[in-house]
């Protein structure tokens, strides 16, 4: 196994015995692990994406320690070595590797700006529009994915990023946070894919004549000659009254209340209970309790718990003081939240005789963890289908690595069930028990 990471993770040291929290026999594990130390975000230039589709450029703060290398340098080394091996020994399927474009100034250490420009795309020949007007000279960066072509005259490694780094410069580095509309559309801050549009399908915010449904919250409107407003129009140049519908990525141009062929379990939204349900039934349709087309392998199906043995709902989540699992290596974060804990309601604590600060064991069909109990009013019992359902909240940030106190891996408890469409694991609702340790 090859691991590229700036910090030591449990993934790379799973073969080590760490007592009860990872009680394994290293001698019986035949996996050989190569850990390639890489850089963290503060040790390299590059972009960070968020759920708002923003690409925000950040700048290197300091050099990486020791022999750590950034991902680009590591992958470049592998790339060049593979080319040398294939050139010397030959092999099948070699053509894509040997013909790959790799025209970097430093071939063994591609720079972030060069990679970002490749994402954006550029012209391989002079480009002209349908009227013969020059839109980009050979070698120039493109400003719109509309300029991309499939005839070999353009190149882009990610079409939705076209426009992020143009001849006008790095749009991801924009830092104007003004918001004249008051809608949160800071068009001058960073860059959003595609084409800096902040609200997708914003044509639907206006009626058939191009007038905003809500003038006080106008996104775009038709001014008689073009679409304009507080966002980049997600519509092209079609005037009101043309056959083009507002949902331009759908063949019919309309929004959909159901999926035609995109969902594994059928076209309509449906409620299914988790595979490990505390109810034992589905209140909406008892004959089909859980999603029948989830990803669940036979071996994992044998490790599903029942409410008689595991009567409470477990759910995993993050804390403000930590970021996933890497900040347990950061001293300030480890001081702010040094020790693994779980949260339970006052009613569950009373029923189990657990006091705030007691050490507890949380178990599922798959294993157990030990942690400190935090009794809190933030969690309340729920009345679901006539049953009282208690929840055990399980932050995910601990393990047996880092400078925080050693803990257990929260996913020891979670089931290996994948959502039928996205394969997202079912970590938000599963069955556990809790007892004083």
Domains of the chain are 41-60+121-198 (no CATH), 199-255 (no CATH), 298-436 (2.40.40.20)
Q: Give the model confidence (pLDDT) of 202-219 as tens digits.
A: 999 999 999 999 999 999
Please, are residues 137 and 123 in contact by the beta-carbon 8 Å criterion? yes
What confidence category does residue 236 fall into, taking pLDDT thresholds of 50, 70 and 90? confident
Band of the pLDDT at 125, cuts 50, 70, 90? very high
Number of other CB atoms surrounding residue 400 within 10 Å: 18
The DSSP code sequence of 171-214 is GGG-B----TTSSS--TTBSEETTTT-SSTTGGGGB-TTS-BSS
Q: Which residue has the tokens 């595609």?
A: 194
**Torsional sign, CA 207, 213, 215, 219:** negative
- What b/e readout covers 198-233, taking b as 16+ CB neighbours within 10 angstroms? bbebbbbbbeeebebeeeeebbbbbeeeebebbbbb
Residue with tokens 């700048």: 59
Predicted pLDDT at 259: 85
* Window from 45-49, 60-64, 70-74, 96-100 with minimum mean pLDDT: 96-100
Give strand pairing partners of 189.
175
Pull the structure tokens for residue 181: 């509309």
DSSP state of 289: -
At residue 90 the predicted structure's pLDDT band, cuts being 50, 70 and 90, is confident
Average per-residue pLDDT for the chain: 95
Token output for 81: 């070595």
Q: Give the position of tokens 């309340």.
A: 380
Please confirm whether the linkage preceding 404 is cis (ω < 30° from 0). Answer: no
pLDDT in tens, 381-418: 999 999 999 999 999 999 999 999 999 999 999 999 99
For residue 229, what are the CA distances in angstroms to 188, 218, 349?
14, 7, 55
Q: Rounded CA gap, 97 and 261, in Å?
A: 35
| CB half-sphere exposure, 303, CA atoms < 13 A | 15
Please give the average per-residue pLDDT across 51-77, as a whole number.
96
- What is the pLDDT, as a whole number, of residue 91? 85
Classify residue 31 by its DSSP letter.
Answer: -
pLDDT at 269 over 90: no
Q: pLDDT higher for 289 or 237?
A: 289
Considering the chain, what percentage of its residues have pLDDT values greater than 70?
A: 100
Contact between 344 and 371 under an 8 Å Cβ cutoff? The reply is no
DSSP string covering 144-175? -GGG--SSSSEE-S-GGGTTSEETTEEGGG-B
CA 59 to mean position of chain CA atoms: 22
């Amino acid at each position: 196994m090859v691991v590229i990471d700036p910090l030591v993770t449990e993934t790379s040291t799973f073969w080590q015995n760490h007592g009860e929290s990872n009680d394994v026999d290293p001698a019986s594990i035949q996996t050989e692990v190569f850990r390639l130390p890489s850089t963290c975000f503060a040790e390299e230039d590059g972009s960070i994406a968020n759920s708002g589709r923003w690409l925000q450029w950040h700048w290197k703060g300091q050099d990486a320690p020791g022999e750590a290398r950034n991902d680009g340098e590591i992958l470049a080394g592998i790339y060049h070595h593979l080319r040398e091996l294939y050139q010397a020994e030959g092999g099948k399927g070699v053509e894509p590797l040997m013909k790959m474009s790799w025209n970097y100034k430093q071939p063994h250490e591609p720079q972030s700006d060069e990679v970002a420009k490749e994402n954006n795309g550029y012209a391989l020949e002079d480009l002209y529009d349908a009227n013969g007007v020059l839109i980009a000279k050979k070698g120039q960066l493109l400003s719109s994915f509309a300029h991309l072509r499939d005839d070999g005259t353009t190149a882009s490694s990610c079409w939705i990023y076209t426009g992020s780094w143009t001849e006008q410069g790095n749009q991801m580095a924009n830092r104007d946070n003004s918001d004249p509309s008051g809608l949160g559309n800071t068009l001058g801050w960073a860059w959003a894919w595609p084409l800096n549009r902040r609200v997708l399908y914003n044509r639907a915010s206006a009626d058939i004549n191009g007038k905003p449904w809500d003038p006080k919250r106008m996104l775009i409107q038709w001014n008689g000659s073009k679409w304009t407003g507080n966002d980049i129009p997600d519509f092209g140049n079609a005037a009101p009254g043309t056959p083009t519908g507002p949902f331009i990525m759908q063949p019919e141009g309309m929004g959909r209340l159901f999926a035609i062929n995109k969902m594994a379990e059928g076209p309509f939204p449906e409620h299914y209970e988790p595979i490990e349900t505390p109810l034992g039934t589905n209140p909406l349709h008892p004959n089909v309790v859980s999603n029948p087309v989830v990803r669940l392998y036979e071996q994992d199906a044998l490790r599903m718990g029942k409410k008689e043995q595991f009567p409470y709902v477990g759910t995993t989540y993050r804390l403000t003081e930590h970021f996933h699992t890497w900040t347990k290596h950061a001293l300030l974060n480890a001081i702010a939240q040094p020790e693994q804990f779980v949260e339970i309601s006052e009613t569950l604590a009373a029923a189990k005789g657990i006091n705030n600060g007691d050490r507890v064991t949380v178990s599922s069909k798959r294993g157990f963890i030990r942690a400190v109990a935090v009794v809190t009013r933030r969690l309340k019992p729920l009345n679901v289908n006539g049953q009282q359902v208690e929840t055990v909240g399980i932050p995910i940030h601990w393990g047996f690595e880092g400078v925080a106190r050693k803990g257990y891996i929260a996913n020891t408890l979670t089931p290996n069930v994948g959502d039928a469409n996205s394969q997202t694991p079912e970590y938000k609702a599963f069955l556990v028990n809790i007892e004083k340790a």
